[in-house]
Amino acid sequence: MSQLVEILERMWSGRAVPEDLHSQLSAQELDIVRAVENSISSERHWRDIALSVMGTAKNLSRGEDKDKVLDELVESSRRIIRSDVAYISINDLDDQITRVLTTSGVITEEFRAVEIPLGIGVIGNVAQTKQVSWTYDQGSDPELSRTPHVDEVVRGEGVRGIMGAPLVINGEIIGTLMVGDRRPRRYTAEEKIILDSLASMTSVAMETSQLIADLEQNVAALRKANERSQLQVTQLRALSEADSQLMEVLSRGTQLKAIREVVNHALDCEVWFYREGGFLSESGKDSAANPKPTEELIKSLITRSHQAGEIVHEDGFSVLAISFNQRQLGAICVNRGVQGHQAAILHRAAQAFATIVLFREAVVEAESRQVDDLLRRFIAGTAVEEDLLRIKRMTGLNLAKNNNVYLAVLVAPTALPQARAIKQHLAANDVVFEYENRLCVLFEAPQGVEDALANLMDWLNAENFKIHIGAVEIPHDLDEVAKAHNRAITLATSMQSLQLFNEVATPTTFGSLGLLLGLDKVSLQEIIADTVGALLEFDQRNNAELATTAVTYFDNARNIAATAKTLFVHSNTVRQRIDKISSIIGADWATGPRSFDIHLALRAWQITKK
C-alpha cells in the first residue's frame, strides 16, 4: 500500500511517477490509480477551458484594434473547442449574403472569399433559430439548405462537421461565429455553451469597437462645432468602462456579486438577480430605503420583458429578462429607470449573467455525472474505499459508516418522475440517480424508512404517481452491496405484482409479507408448499380452482356473494368449494391466526406463478 500512497501523492503534486512503482501495484491498486488519473484529467480539462474562456474575455476588455481582437477571438475559439477551422461571417442585408470576415486554420483562398446566400447551411439555421446550430456532416445532412457553389467551396476546404453561434447586437443577428472540422463530429452540450459564450463576447467586442470608433469621431466633430458633447462622451466612456469591468469580472471567475457591484457603481442603483422562482443570495440587500419588488410584480415584469425582448419599467423598477436557446435563465432588476447607455450597460450585465449561469450549470452537470458514475459503481459492487470517500466529499452522504443508510429502488408501470424532482422531497445529503432503467435513492433513515421517505410519499400521492418501492439497509461489506441492490429490486417488483403503490417494501416493514418478499425463490416455494401445498396438489390432480377461490375469498373480506361475483360463478358453487377447502387443509383455514399465513402463502403463490 506504501507504493500506492507514494504514487497518489506524486500524481496530486504533479510530479512524475517512475514506471517501476506502477509495476509493484496489484490490479486493484492499478484501478485506483487509473480512476484518480481520470479524475485529475477531467478537472484539468475543465480548468483549461475555464482559463481559456476567461483569458479570451480579458483580452477583449483591453480595447485594442478591432481586427486584432477578432483575429485573436477566432483563434481562441478554434483552440478552446479543438476544431480545425474557425471564422466569423458578417451579414450583408442589402445583397442578402454573408461574407467571411476573419479566419483561423483555413487553407484555401476560395473559402476565405466565399459569399454565402442568407439562409444557406448551418449559418442559415443559426439566423433562422437565433441560437447555436450544428451538423455532424455538412456534405450528407439532408436537412441543410445548400447551393452547388458553396458545397464545392466547403468540399475544397475539407470541412465536414460545422457548428455556429449567432452574433447579436441590439437584438439583431449581424453575423455568425463558426467552427469546423475536417471530419464528421458530434458537438457536446458543453461545446455549444462555450461557443455561444464566445459569440456573446465577440458581439460585445464588435459593438464596443464600433462604439469606441464612434466616440473618437464624435469627439473630433464636437470639438470643431463646439456643441454640447460632454454628456455623450461621458456616457460612452461609462459604457466602455462598464464593458471592460464586466470582462474583467468574467476573467476572474464566476461571481454574480462582482457583476452587481459593476452595475451598482455604473448606474448608482440597487441590483437584484432573479432566477427560478426567487431572488438569488448574491443579489442586493432588501431594506426600507431600497425595497426589492414584490414577487407578483417581478413575475409580471419578467413575463412582459420576455414577450417584448427588451427592458420594461414599472413602479420605479427596470427589469431585463434573460434567456438562452429559448430557455429562461432569470432576470436582472434595478430600482430605477434606465435608457440609452444605461440600458446598454444593463444588457451587457445580462450577457455576463448568462455566461456565468451557463458556465456554472456546465460545471455542475460535469460534477453530477462524476457522482452518478461513482454511485453506479457502488451499487454494482465494484466500488473501493476511496470511492466512498469521494462520494462523501461530493454529496455529504457517508456510505462508509453504513448505519441507518438505505438503498431504495423505484419502478413504475409508466414513466418515472425526474430524479431532480424526487431530490426536492428528500433530505439534504440523500442522493438520487438512474441505474439500469430504474431510479435508485441512497438515504439516511435514523428514525426508520417510512419516516425518512414520508415527504416523498406525500408528493407522489399528491401528483398521482404510481410508484413501487423496495428498500434495504446498506450492508457493511462492500461485496454484499450488489446483492442488497438485487433484493431491493425484488421487493419493488413484488410490490408491483401486489399492485401496492407509493408504499415502501422492506424485509421487515410488513412483517411476514416482508420476509416472504425478501426470500430466494427456493425458500419461497418451500413456504408455499408447507402452507397450502395440499390445496395446490388437489387442484393439479383434479383440474380444480380451489386455490384461486380461496385467495379471492380472502381478497373479498370473506364475503361469499362478492367472491362469486368476482369469479363469475354461483354463490352455492363458492360455498361448496369452501367446504372442500376446509376438508383438505382444515376448518380453521379462514379464521384466526392461521388465516393470515394461508392468505400470505396464497398471495405469494399468485406472484410466483405469473
Of residues 460 and 63, more confidence is placed in 460
Q: How far apart are CA 380 and CA 358, in angstroms?
A: 33
CB 272 within 8 A of CB 279: yes
H helix runs in 61-100, sequence order = 66-81
Q: What is the pLDDT of residue 185?
A: 93
CB 406 within 8 A of CB 430: no
Q: How far is CA 291 from the centre of its chain?
A: 34
Phi, psi of 370 (to 5 degrees): -65, -45
Q: What is the mean pLDDT of residues 135-152?
A: 90
Phi, psi of 288 (to 5 degrees): -60, -35
CB 93 within 8 A of CB 117: no
First to last CA, the chain: 51
Go through the chain and tell me how many residues it has.
Answer: 610
CB 302 within 8 A of CB 331: yes
**Does pLDDT of 47 surpass 90?**
no
Q: How far is CA 211 from the centre of its chain?
A: 39
- What's the mean pLDDT when you consider all of the chain? 80
Most confidently predicted of 6-15, 102-111, 278-287 = 102-111
Q: What is the pLDDT of residue 561?
A: 92
**Does pLDDT of 514 surpass 60?**
no
The amino acid sitting at 75 is E
Q: How far apart are CA 204 and CA 63, in angstroms?
A: 11
- Fold for domain 61-207? Beta-Lactamase (3.30.450)
Most confidently predicted of 194-198, 235-239, 520-524 = 194-198
Of residues 42 and 500, more confidence is placed in 500
- Fold for domain 228-362? Beta-Lactamase (3.30.450)
**Does pLDDT of 219 surpass 50?**
no
Q: How far apart are CA 218 and CA 232, in angstroms?
A: 9
CB 88 within 8 A of CB 177: yes
**Confidence band, pLDDT 50/70/90 cuts, at residue 152:** very high
What is the tens place of the pLDDT at every residue in 582-610?
A: 999 988 888 877 887 788 888 778 766 65
Q: What is the mean pLDDT of residues 192-205?
A: 82
Q: Give the chain's largest Cα–Cα span.
A: 119
Q: What is the pLDDT of residue 446?
A: 86
DSSP 354: H
CB 98 within 8 A of CB 90: yes
Flag the least confident range among 291-295, 325-329, 600-604: 325-329
**Does pLDDT of 180 surpass 60?**
yes
| DSSP per-residue codes, 204-260 | HHHHHHHHHHHHHHHHHHHHHHT-S-HHHHHHHHHHHHHHHHHHHHHHH---HHHHH
Task: Please state the domain extents for the chain.
Answer: 2-52, 61-207, 228-362, 396-518, 521-609
Q: What is the pLDDT of residue 174?
A: 87
Q: How far is CA 356 from the centre of its chain?
A: 16
Q: What is the mean pLDDT of residues 3-22?
A: 68
DSSP 139: G
Q: Does domain 396-518 have CATH number 3.30.930.10?
A: no
Q: How far apart are CA 580 and CA 599, in angstroms?
A: 17
CB 485 within 8 A of CB 383: no
**Confidence band, pLDDT 50/70/90 cuts, at residue 272:** confident
**Does pLDDT of 57 surpass 60?**
no
The H-or-E segment that residue 96 falls in is none
**Does pLDDT of 115 surpass 50?**
yes
Q: How far apart are CA 104 and CA 75, in angstroms?
A: 6
**CATH of segment(s) 521-609:** 1.10.10.2840
Phi, psi of 91 (to 5 degrees): -80, 140
SS (H, E, C) 419-433: HHHHHCCCCCCCEEE
Flag the least confident range among 182-186, 376-380, 543-547, 562-566: 376-380
Q: What is the pLDDT of residue 413?
A: 82
Flag the least confident range among 33-47, 64-78, 88-102, 477-491: 33-47
Most confidently predicted of 252-256, 438-442, 476-480 = 438-442
What residues form DSSP beta bridges with 180?
A: 85, 162
| CB-side neighbour CA atoms (13 Å) of 443 | 28
Q: What is the pLDDT of residue 104?
A: 92
Of residues 276 and 179, more confidence is placed in 179
Q: What is the mean pLDDT of residues 316-345?
A: 81
Q: How far is CA 513 from the centre of its chain?
A: 38
Sign of CA dihedral 98, 102, 104, 109: positive
Q: How far is CA 532 from the centre of its chain?
A: 51
**Confidence band, pLDDT 50/70/90 cuts, at residue 87:** very high
Q: What is the pLDDT of residue 179?
A: 94
Residue that the C-alpha cell 433559430 belongs to? 129
SS (H, E, C) 442-492: EEECCCCHHHHCHHHHHHHHHCCCCCEEEEEECCCCHHHHHHHHHHHHHHH
Residue that the C-alpha cell 376438508 belongs to? 583
The H-or-E segment that residue 95 falls in is none
Q: What is the pLDDT of residue 597?
A: 79
226 Cβ neighbours under 8 A, 6+ residues apart: none
Flag the least confident range among 180-194, 209-223, 230-244: 209-223
CB 111 within 8 A of CB 158: no
**Does pLDDT of 335 surpass 70?**
yes
CB 99 within 8 A of CB 276: no
**Does pLDDT of 438 surpass 90?**
no
Q: What is the pLDDT of residue 577?
A: 92
The amino acid sitting at 451 is D
Matching CATH topology for 228-362 and 396-518? no
- 143, exposed or middle or buried, with CB in 10 Å at 0-12, 13-18, 19+? exposed
**Confidence band, pLDDT 50/70/90 cuts, at residue 493:** confident
**Confidence band, pLDDT 50/70/90 cuts, at residue 17:** low
**Does pLDDT of 158 surpass 90?**
yes
Flag the least confident range among 115-129, 206-220, 579-593: 206-220
H helix runs in 91-147, sequence order = 109-113, 121-129
Residue that the C-alpha cell 470643431 belongs to? 224
| DSSP per-residue codes, 260-279 | HHHHHHHHTS-EEEEETTEE
CB 431 within 8 A of CB 375: yes
Q: Return the C-alpha cell found at 31.
A: 484501478
Q: What is the pLDDT of residue 215?
A: 45
**Does pLDDT of 510 surpass 50?**
no
Find the angle CA(139)-CA(145)-CA(149) to the nearest 5 degrees: 65
